[in-house]
Amino acid sequence: MISEETRSKLFDFAWEMLDRREDKQLIKAVEELNELQDEVLKYLDGRGDRDKLVEEFSDVVVILWQLKLRFDIVRPEIERQIDYKIERTRERLGPLA
């Protein structure tokens, strides 16, 4: 779980970013997601560096917070989608033995 201090810093930083052009922010989001993808793929083929993976993961968390604010996404919306996706995955997997 994110500490209140970190959450506050993230929130403040995200609000600072809102004055940037939306298209630049969206392009940055795609770049950060691609960098995380690259690190995950490196990890899968044995070339991964956990510290680099954590760094890229953190970049994605920050950009997701910015996008959450940009698109006015509220916690209940996220929780509803998470619940749906978990339930859908459980249905696909079937009962655990």
| CATH code, 89 | 1.10.287
Q: Report phi then psi at 37, rounded to 5.
A: -55, -45
10's CB contacts (< 8 A; 6+ apart) are 2, 61, 62, 65
Domain span at residue 66 reads 4-93
Residue 2: per-residue pLDDT:
72
d(CA 21, CA 27): 10
pLDDT mean by block of 10 residues, the chain; 97 residues: 76 66 84 97 95 97 92 96 95 82
How far apart, in whole angstroms, are the C-alpha atoms of residue 63 and residue 40?
A: 18
Domains in the chain, number:
1
Residues in the chain: 97
Distance of alpha carbon 28 from the chain centroid: 13
User: How high is the pLDDT of residue 67?
Assistant: 92
- Alpha-helical runs (H) found in 18-74: 22-44, 50-70
**pTM for the whole thing?**
0.71
Query: What is the three-class DSSP state of 88?
Result: helix
